[in-house]
Amino acid sequence: MPLIQNGEGIRVTHAVPSGGSVTVNVGPNDSTLEINVAGSSEVQVVEVPPNKDAVIPVPPVPPGTILFITVGKGLRARVLIVEVIALAPQGP
């Protein structure tokens, strides 16, 4: 799924299932990242572990909600977009 890419230097899954988690691989200079529902001012700060792969639980939001993952501060921040999708129905 093509998504907006403003976050050079970080990698992330672009669509995550509701109730799942998203893994963000960040560069060596960032020790935290922030995740929020796009448009909302409530931000969750996540520590980046030494291996630089931050695992972020997806907040309880309806499918179709778009999340911002932000690395860095101010106008030098990089913003990635993640869309929450519905889980595919499981077969019997």
Partner 1 sequence: MRLEPVLLVAQDAPPATMPTRRAFLFGGAMFATGLSLGGACGYAFGSRRADVPAPVSDDFEKSGDADLDELRRLAVKAPIEELVKHDMLFIRSATVVYPNDRFLWRGLRRLAEEVIAKQNYPNRRIAAGILIQTINAADPEWASTLSDLVKSLRACR
CB of 5 to partner 1, least distance (A): 9
Q: Under a CB-based contact definition with an 8 Å cutoff, are residues 65 and 84 in contact?
A: yes
CB of 74 to partner 1, least distance (A): 5
Residue number, 19 or 77, with CB nearest to partner 1: 77
Interface residues with partner 1 (CB under 8 A)?
2-4, 6, 36-41, 43, 64-66, 68, 70, 74-75, 77-79, 81, 83
Residue number, 27 or 83, with CB nearest to partner 1: 83
Q: How far apart are CA 77 and CA 33, in angstroms?
A: 10
Which residues, at least 6 apart from 45, have a Cβ–Cβ distance to it below 8 Å? 32, 33, 34
Q: Under a CB-based contact definition with an 8 Å cutoff, are residues 81 and 14 in contact?
A: yes
Q: How far apart are CA 7 and CA 80, in angstroms?
A: 5
Residue number, 42 or 47, with CB nearest to partner 1: 42
CB of 25 to partner 1, least distance (A): 19
